A and B are shown apart, each in its own frame.
Chain A
Amino acid sequence: MLASHQRAFQHLQVPVLVLSLCPDVDTAAAWDSQVGHPFRHVVWAPDTPPASAYAQLGFRRSLAGVWSEASLGWYAEQSAAGVELHSSRGQDVNQLAGDLVVDAAGRLVLPYYGVDNTDRPSLGTVLRAAAVASAAGDKQALHARLQYVQGYMHALAASAPQAAAPAAEPRTTAAAIVDSVTTTVAASAGAVSGAVAGAAEEEECVE
């Protein structure tokens, strides 16, 4: 989970904000308590239904993405491992989700749309995108941040190989992610694109 890597995001000065289908503050607080994470949980405005917000951000609903063999297989793994599966509390189980990394100006650096309930970008991909967002076009800053991310991932791989090892291959291909991030980087920092391309080398998923 990203929660284990908060210090990396703090170093990059890019906070992680949680957005959800929770309709109000109380429900969001209940989820926070259940999961236990250090991030800010941003709740939609009362006149902005969560489903509408998701739709405005391009997140679609999908039966195939939620009820397929691969999707239910993930829940089965959790169940077999003794993890308690919680109620959806009436929220739309067919709503897909994902991760958006944006810069301070609100421009997308990494749009990642999960195609099913397990599809999330790797930690390395998110961190590299956060580095790009944080650098705000400053070539030297970008280089330093990407170096930091590279070191962080190497240290993670050394200390917890299983954490850095592929948990699952993201359905949105690593190549596409690298392409999208590299597109942003290339104009100002061609020299570090190799570090960005390292996103394909590790695949620890966000969730």
Chain B
Amino acid sequence: MVLRQEPCSCGMDTSAPGETAGRRLLWVQRGDPTEFEPHFVHTDELSLNAFTEALLASTKRPLQLGRDGDGQVVLGPQRAGSADRSAGKRTAVGANTSKSNHWNDFVEGLGTADFVTQGTVQAVPAVGENSTSATAISAAAISLLAEQCEACVDGVLQGLTVHDDASMQVAFEALSVPELTRRVKELGALISKRAHCLKTLGATRTAQLSATVAALQSSTIYAATAERYAHATLRWQRVLASMQAAMSAASADASLRPPLRVGDALPQVHTHETTPLHPVLAAHRGAVLVLLRHFG
């Protein structure tokens, strides 16, 4: 699928490329090079790139166009029963077709639907559905993240024959510790992916992402997206658990002591210049020892 951006040819308010406010008209090509769908995108609070990425993910579901509360045309997820009007060739715009006429015909036939908007635009209740345009954006972002999660987990499992949890652990146990360490780092790519998702959602905390997924679960339209995300993260957890078991078996550390408990004596651990820690403590009335994780 290819996205291309054009000046609006049907009288709608659009912004020049690079601007961060206003709306843009995106023609989304599906498969056949002559088939394009017109998508108006509000870009008030969301970068075009972020939306485009979300859109690419969301187009695995049918999309349709409608109007928001101001009468502006926006993109939204397809409403049940409208597939014959909104998807595929119905929205195709060939090179010799008048986009303006086609656009108007298309929009007129839609009526009210779910809408994709960007914060400042009033959410418009959909016919028969209570979801909003913001939900559509969220769902697209979550869908994309689920896909990326699956890809990262696939990277961890690459080349391994895995049928179930048992065979997964066997496969991991056959690997060396360095190889396990290398593979698990495949998941590190999810940091930037999740950060991107947070930005798309306008969120700052992971808890907000979780809340978004929970909200999607109660939606008839987006429950499948939430389910896909849940499945991806569950698979992530299972892979990690298997890797942990394999790692523990392979690198059982004889020097690892059980966790200390209240009242235990601090083991004699030597610090720089072979100075035991205890004299340092005795010089004061105790100490708070903050053990860091890795550098950074």
Given A91-B294, A111-B260, A75 and B265 contact (CB-CB distance below 8 Å): no
Q: Mark out the residues of chain B between 156 and 203 whose CB falls within 8 Å of any chain A CB in the assembled complex.
A: 180-181, 184, 187-188, 190-199, 203
Expressed in whole angstroms, the Cα–Cα distance for A64 and B275 within the complex equals 34
Which of chain B's residues have a CB closer than 8 A to the CB of A18?
290, 292
Known: A77-B198, A98-B291, A134-B286. A58 touches B240 (CB 8 A): no
A197 within 8 A of partner (CB): no
- Minimum Cβ distance to chain B for residue A182 (Å): 9
B95 adjacent to chain A (CB < 8 Å):
no
Stretch at the interface among A100-108, A152-160, A188-196: A100-108
Question: Hey, which chain A residues are within 8 Å of B211, CB to CB?
Answer: none
A interface SS class:
mixed
CB of A25 closer than 8 Å to a CB of B: yes
Check if A70 is an interface residue, CB within 8 A of chain B: yes
In the assembled complex, B90 has its CB within 8 A of some CB on chain A: no
Q: Total interface residues on A, using CB and 8 Å?
A: 91
Comparing B5-13, B25-33, B116-124, B266-274, the segment that makes contact with chain A is B266-274
**B272 & A43 in contact (Cβ 8 Å cutoff):** yes
B191→A100 contact, CB < 8 A? no
Query: In the bound complex, do residue A77 and residue B205 qualify as a contact, i.e. CB atoms below 8 Å apart?
Result: yes
Task: Please tell me if the beta carbons of B285 and A134 are within 8 angstroms of each other in the complex.
Answer: yes
Select one of B240, B247, B289, B293 contacting A96, CB under 8 A. Answer: B293
Given contacts A76-B197, A85-B296, A134-B286, 18 further A-B contacts (CB under 8 A): A15-B284, A42-B277, A47-B270, A48-B269, A54-B291, A57-B267, A68-B237, A69-B236, A77-B195, A79-B192, A92-B294, A97-B292, A100-B291, A107-B264, A136-B285, A136-B286, A184-B263, A206-B290
Sample 15 A-B pairs with CB under 8 A, ordered by A number.
A18-B292, A43-B272, A57-B291, A62-B244, A69-B206, A70-B206, A86-B296, A88-B294, A100-B291, A101-B289, A102-B287, A106-B266, A108-B265, A111-B262, A117-B293
Residues of B within 8 A of A (CB): 180-181, 184, 187-188, 190-199, 203-206, 209, 233, 236-237, 240-241, 243-244, 247, 251, 253, 255-267, 269-275, 277-278, 280-282, 284-296
